[in-house]
Amino acid sequence: MKTTTAITRRTAIAGAAATLVAPAVVKAQGQTLKIGSLLPRSGFFAQAGQSMHRGVLAAPEMLKALGYNVEFVHIDTESNADVARTQAERAINDGCHILTGAFDSGQTLAIAQVTEQRQVPFVVNVAAAPQITEQGYKFLVRNFQTGGQLVTNGLRLIKDVMDAKSIQFEKAVFLHANDTFGTAQRNAMDAIWPRVGLPIQLVEKIAYDPRAQDLSVEVAKIRSINPDLVMCVTRASDAIKMVRDMVRQRFQPKAIISPGSPGFYDEEFYQALGPLADFVLFGLPWANPKSNMTQAFEKAFVKANPNNRFAVDSFNAGFAFEGMLIAADAFKRAGTTNGPQLMEAVRATNIPEHVMIGGPIIFDAKGQNPNIGSALVQNLKRVPTVVLPKDVALAEPVLPFPAWQGRS
């Protein structure tokens, strides 16, 4: 009996396919994850975008040391939602496997529409609008607090500092920018303030245009009310204007506290105001100064950005880095750059050791990390310093404020 090995047409096709696929399999094993970092590096949010970008620049060395194989594509969204949308499309067309971004909620939502349609994972690093994780996006996770969480935690920290320093505020004014972020914070304040039961009378809420040349009128109005606590939601340049006009108009509150906003910890704030930048407080998610990874990241940051201070950039840079870390970690577990599979790995993230204050990085069913903590930070000798909670604090809070006059 003669045995013959017949090569059927089906076997031939399978063999040919295997020959074609084999290099792809080999290639996948040594594949690099291409991360598109979308940030507003020019335009209205350029200052914050650049600060986050410095964190991205420090990420390669850190991630390499942690054994991740990643490549970065740096993209400027120009602080414009339409540009952000177009750039997200372009990044995906250019081969980015995952996107991170985008500091501003409006731009983040624009990018999310693209990533959802193209089934590419999107890790939100900073953006607080609640709707980002309320619209049922399947290809998005957010490693940042919502506006409501920011305000709730910020107000809780005000209560904590009042208890810690045995200080009482009687009247408060809430000053906020009337942009997307500021208005969202105002809405959160309206909803949350009555619930937190702070023993302070909130007498006025003042919205201002962040593009105004100065805040002299706003400060004149606050001065006429004479509150002992000013709560504010600002950006860097208007935080400068606010303090400058308070000093010029000789208005001296017991404290200025931001229940969750940028502005007071930017380098330009320190440069513009010098000693007058000291003692303002802000409750925000912040880099954990006592975490090993934060300390390692600080070294990488200083190496990548020798002209910038990590303490000042740690909020923006820390979240920018964590976005990269989440992406790289998911890729390592997924072993593929395929969008849906990579997204599955992103959703299953569990990173106990990381940079920012809080528990392990995980995501709930909506894609929100519920474990991000807040710290009360105070400018002391022009350095943003964690003063609460005590387990991560580096100094005692100073309250009430020393007078504007005579500071050096």
Q: Find the shortest distance in angstroms from Cβ 171 to another protein.
A: 9
* CA separation for the pair 60, 33 (Å, rounded): 12
Q: Find the shortest distance in angstroms from Cβ 282 to another protein.
A: 18
- Phi/psi region, residue 153 (left: phi>0; alpha: psi -120 to 50; beta: rest), is alpha
Does position 244 interact with another protein (CB under 8 A)? The reply is yes
Torsion of CA 75, 80, 84, 87, to 10 degrees: -60
Determine the size of the site formed for another protein (CB under 8 A). Answer: 45
Question: 341-345 — which CB contacts under 8 Å span 24+ positions?
Answer: 342/97, 342/98, 342/121, 343/119, 343/121, 343/138, 343/139
**Do residues 170 and 194 lie in contact, with contact meaning Cβ atoms separated by under 8 Å?**
no
Q: Find the shortest distance in angstroms from Cβ 305 to another protein.
A: 13
- Phi/psi region, residue 84 (left: phi>0; alpha: psi -120 to 50; beta: rest), is alpha
The pattern of x and - marking residues 259 through 298 that bind another protein according to CB under 8 A reads -------xxx--xx-x-x----------------------
Closer residue to another protein in complex, CB, 118/221: 221
Stretch that binds another protein, among 19-27, 90-98, 201-209, 327-335 (CB under 8 A): 201-209
The pattern of x and - marking residues 141 through 180 that bind another protein according to CB under 8 A reads -------------------------------------x--
Closer residue to another protein in complex, CB, 155/277: 277
Closer residue to another protein in complex, CB, 16/217: 217
Closer residue to another protein in complex, CB, 34/186: 186
For 66, the token pair is 């942690």
The pattern of x and - marking residues 203 through 232 that bind another protein according to CB under 8 A reads xx-xxxx-xxxxxxxx-xx-xxxx------
Closer residue to another protein in complex, CB, 178/295: 178
Closer residue to another protein in complex, CB, 92/243: 243
Q: Find the shortest distance in angstroms from Cβ 273 to another protein.
A: 8
Q: Find the shortest distance in angstroms from Cβ 17 to another protein.
A: 51
> Would you call the peptide bond into 255 cis, given omega within 30 degrees of 0 as the criterion?
no
Does position 119 interact with another protein (CB under 8 A)? The reply is no
Closer residue to another protein in complex, CB, 203/302: 203
The pattern of x and - marking residues 19 through 58 that bind another protein according to CB under 8 A reads -----------------------xxx-xx-xx--------
| C-alpha 351: how far from chain center | 17
Q: Find the shortest distance in angstroms from Cβ 170 to another protein.
A: 13
* CA separation for the pair 255, 130 (Å, rounded): 29
For 72, the token pair is 């970065």
For 270, the token pair is 């320190």
CA distances from 80 to 45, 146, 196 (A): 9, 21, 35
Q: Find the shortest distance in angstroms from Cβ 395 to another protein.
A: 26
* CA separation for the pair 51, 379 (Å, rounded): 18
Q: At what angle do helices 236-248 and 46-65 cross, to 10 degrees?
A: 130
Fill in the DSSP letter of residue 277.
Answer: G
Closer residue to another protein in complex, CB, 139/265: 265
Binder to another protein among 38, 59, 81, 236 (CB under 8 A)? 236
Closer residue to another protein in complex, CB, 244/333: 244
The DSSP secondary structure of 36-54, one letter per residue, reads EEEE--SSTTHHHHHHHHH
Selection from 244, 231, 355 nearest residue 290 by Cα: 355
Residues near another protein, by CB under 8 A: 42-44, 46-47, 49-50, 178, 203-204, 206-209, 211-218, 220-221, 223-226, 236-237, 240-241, 244, 247-250, 266-268, 271-272, 274, 276, 404
